[in-house]
Amino acid sequence: MLDRIQQIKQDIAAFKIETAADLEAFRLKYLSKKGQMNDLFEAFKTVSKDQKREIGQKLNELKVLLNETFEKYKEVAEQHAAASSSDSDLTLPGESFPLGSRHPISIAMNEICDIFAKLGFSVAEGPEIEDDWHVFSALNFPPEHPARDMQDTFFIQKCPDILLRTHTSSVQVRVMERMKPPIRMIMPGRVFRNEAISARSHCIFHQVEGLYIAEDVSFTDLKQTLLAFAREMFGEKTDIRLRPSYFPFTEPSAEMDVSCSCGGKGCNLCKYTGWLEVLGCGMVDPAVLEANGIDSKKYTGFAFGIGVERMALMKYKIKDIRTYFENDVRFLQQFSTAF
Ligand code: DAH
C-alpha cells in the first residue's frame, strides 16, 4: 500500500492541469467517490494494526497533497476560463471591409488632369455658383446670346444675375484675374444646364477647361497639345480632327473629334461615322484677353473645354449618361480596379 501511495504522489506531479476539463479529470481520478483516494481509504480498513499508524499518516499526507493541488489548479483554471470567455477571440480571421471604388467620372477626370499635368498644366478651381460677368460677359457673350436664356441656364437670382455656371470657362476668367501670363492651367469641375435629361445629355455634367496664354502661342500648339492628349487618353493609334465652329470667347473656334475605337468601321457609339466629338476649343479671342486685363498685342492663347462624361462613355463603352448618376452599386463596382 505504501508503494501505491508513492506511485500516486509521482502521478500527481506529472498530471497536466491547464483547463477546467483537466481539473475535473483530476478530481474524478483522485478525489471523487469512485476516485483513488476513496479506494485507498477502503483498503486502509484491511490494514493490520501494526501498520495502521504509519500508513494512516502517509494517507493523510496524500490527501492533503491532493486537496492542495486541486485548490491551486482551480485558480489557474478559473483564470484560463475568464480569459477565453472574453468577447474577443484573437484567433478568429479578421473581418473584411468591402472597399468602395472611385466613380468613373472621377477616374476619367483624374486621368485627364494627369495627362495635362505631364504637359506642364497646373490645376485651378472656381465656384459653381457664379455671376453673369464670369460666365458670360467677360467671355464675350453678346447680350442676346441664347446661352443667357432661362431655357439654358439655372438662375438663382435675377438683377444682379446669380446662376449655376453653365461651363467651366468661367474659371478661365477667375484665373486671368489672378495671374499674369504665362498661364498654363486646367480647370476641372461640375457644370449645370437647364436641359432635358436623356441617354445623351444631363442637366449636371463635368468639364475640364484648359487655358494656355503666353507669347507666340499658335493654333499649331493647340492642335499638337490636343493630339498628344487624345493619344495618351485613347491610345497611340488615335487620330483627331478639328472642325470649324463658333464660341464667343475664341476666334477661330473648333470642335475636336477623336477616331472611334471601332476603327472607322462604324458602330452605335459613333453613329457609324467613325468619329466622336469630345471637346470645343480655339484661340482665345483678343476681346477676352483685353476684358481680363491681358495685353492682346503681346500675348496670344488657346483654350479648350472637354466633356468628361463623353470621355468616360467612350473609354468605358457606357451607353447611357444617366447611369452615372443612379448610384447603382452593380454599375459602380465595375470600376473598382480602374484607378
Ligand atoms: N465652354 C464651351 C461649352 O461648354 C466649351 C469650350 C469651347 C471651352 C471652346 C473652351 C473653348 O475653352 O475654347 O460648350
Determine the pLDDT at residue 84.
65
User: 96 lies in a domain?
Assistant: no
CA 132 to ligand 1 center in whole angstroms: 16
Among 191, 219, 242, 249, name the best residue to mutate to test ligand 1's pocket (greatest count of ligand atoms within 8 A of Cβ): 249
List the residue whose alpha carbon is closest to atom 5 of ligand 1: 305
Specify whether 10 is located in the same domain as 124: no
**Ligand 1 atom nearest to CA at 284:** 13
| Ligand 1 atom, smallest distance to 249 CA | 13
- Rounded distance between C-alpha atoms, residue 31 and residue 39, angstroms: 10
Tell me which residue has its CA closest to atom 12 in ligand 1: 304
What is the chain's mean pLDDT, rounded?
90
CB-based contact 308:105 (threshold 8 Å): yes
50 found inside a domain: yes
CA of 255 to the centre of ligand 1 (A): 9
Do 154 and 281 fall within a single domain?
Answer: yes
The three-point CA angle 32-34-35 to 5° equals 60
Q: Nearest residue CA, atom 8 of ligand 1?
A: 305
The reply to whether 229 falls in a domain is yes
Point out the domain boundary residue: 51, 84, 117: 84
Above 80 in pLDDT, residue 85?
no
Atom of ligand 1 minimally distant from the CA of 302: 13
Find the DSSP H helices in the chain: 2-14, 20-26, 36-44, 49-84, 104-118, 132-135, 169-178, 219-234, 286-291, 308-316, 329-332
Q: What pLDDT digit, counting tens, does each position of 261-299 carry?
A: 887 787 877 888 889 899 999 999 999 999 999 999 999
**Number of compact structural domains in the chain:** 2
Q: Tell me, what's the pLDDT at 92?
A: 85
The CATH code of the domain that includes 133 is 3.30.930.10
> Is 60 exceeded by the pLDDT of residue 338?
no
pLDDT for 123 beyond 90: yes
Between CA 305 and CA 287 the distance in angstroms is 19
State the distance from the centre of ligand 1 to the C-alpha of 155, rounded, in angstroms.
20
Edge-to-edge strands, sheet with 275-284: 122-123, 183-192, 204-214, 300-307, 275-284, 250-259, 240-247
Q: Among 61-70, 117-126, 165-174, where is mean pLDDT lowest?
A: 61-70
Residue 251: phi and psi, rounded to 5, are -155, 115
Asked whether residue 134 falls in the same domain as residue 78, the answer is no
Q: How far is the CA of 73 from the centre of ligand 1 (A)?
A: 83
Q: Is residue 97 included in any domain, yes or no?
A: no
Which of 52, 84, 116 is the last residue before a domain boundary?
84
103 three-class SS = coil
Q: From CA 13, how far away is CA 315, in angstroms rounded? A: 76
pLDDT level of residue 339 (50, 70, 90 thresholds): very low
280 CA distance to ligand 1 middle (Å): 5
Ligand 1 pocket list (CB less than 6 A): 167, 169, 209, 247, 250, 280-282, 303-305
Same domain as 303, residue 209: yes
Q: Compute φ and ψ for 61, nearest 5 degrees.
A: -55, -45
pTM of the complete model beyond 0.75? no
The span from the first CA to the last CA of the chain, in angstroms, equals 81
Q: Which numbered atom of ligand 1 lies nearest the CA of 282? A: 13
Residue 98 located in a structural domain? no
What was the pLDDT predicted at 236?
Answer: 93
pLDDT at 337: 66
Tell me, yes or no, whether 79 and 145 share the same domain.
no
* Cα-to-centroid distance, 126 and ligand 1 (Å): 16
> Can you tell me the distance from the alpha carbon of 167 to that of 305, in angstroms, rounded to the nearest whole number?
8
Q: What is the rounded CA–CA span in Å between residue 170 and residue 305?
A: 11
Quote the CA–CA distance of 37 and 332 in Å, as a whole number.
Answer: 73
Shared-domain flag, residues 59 and 190:
no
> Are both 78 and 126 inside the same structural domain?
no
* Same domain flag for 63 and 147: no
pLDDT band at 218 (very low <50, low <70, confident <90, very high): very high
**Residues found in the chain:** 339
Cα(304) to centroid(ligand 1), Å: 6
Q: Range with the lowest mean pLDDT among 63-67, 122-126, 263-267, 310-314? A: 263-267
pLDDT tens track for 198-211? 888 899 999 999 99
User: Mapping DSSP to helix (H, G, I), strand (E, B) and coil, where does residue 205 land?
Assistant: strand
**Is the predicted pLDDT of residue 304 greater than 50, yes or no?**
yes
Statement to judge: residues 75 and 115 lie in one domain: no
20: pLDDT confidence band, cut at 50, 70 and 90? Answer: confident
287 assigned to some structural domain: yes
Please indicate, yes or no, whether residues 157 and 264 belong to a single structural domain of this protein.
Answer: yes
Give the CA radius of gyration of the chain: 42
For residue 113, tell me if it sits in a domain.
Answer: yes
CA 117 to ligand 1 center in whole angstroms: 20
Last residue of a domain, one of 84, 119, 146: 84
63-83 burial, b if ≥16 CB within 10 A, otherwise e? Answer: eebbeebbeebeeebeebeee
My answer on whether 160 and 46 are in the same domain is no
Q: Whose CA is nearest to atom 4 of ligand 1?
A: 167
Mean pLDDT score, 131-143: 93
pLDDT recorded at residue 86 = 63
Say if residue 303's pLDDT is above 90.
yes
Q: Which three cell numbers stand for residue 104?
A: 468613373
Q: Which domain covers residue 51, as residue numbers? A: 2-84
Does some domain include residue 201? yes
Regarding whether 210 and 252 lie in a shared domain, the answer is yes
